[in-house]
Amino acid sequence: MEVRAVTRYVRISPQKAQDFSQVIQGKPVAEAMAIAELSPRKAARLFAKTLKSALANAENNHDLKKADLKVKRAAADPGPMLKRFRPKARGMAGRIRKRMSHFTVILTDE
């Protein structure tokens, strides 16, 4: 059985978050949680929150055991961008794109 959790509109770029998501993908849940808690990266802290939500969904909604679960898929998909402008030389403006991500974690007991 597959259980999923999605965190939307996270203020981190998908490129930075995707690096960490590849680290926890395919690992048992206990090991993935340990990696997320010990890693100093912002993406690790945010993925830990989504991983805890997926684990709670599995235990409370589907009566699955934590020891049996593995991270089948962890992804950071691009979300909307906040578009801002910064003054540049000779009266021009430079565009700044503040990126957001949507985190998806899928756990499986197979």
> Residue 28 pLDDT > 90, yes or no?
yes
Q: What is the pLDDT of residues 62-88, one digit of tens each?
A: 999 999 999 999 999 999 999 999 999
Q: Which domains does the chain have, with CATH numbers?
A: 2-108 (3.90.470.10)
Per-residue confidence (pLDDT) for residue 43, from 0 to 100 = 96
CA distance 83 to 86: 10
* Cβ neighbours of 30 (radius 10 Å): 12
Q: What is the pLDDT of residues 44-64, one digit of tens each?
A: 999 999 999 999 999 999 999
Per-residue confidence (pLDDT) for residue 110, from 0 to 100 = 82
Mean per-residue pLDDT, 26-49 = 96
Orientation angle between helical segments 29-38 and 14-24, nearest 10 degrees: 130
CA distance 37 to 40: 8
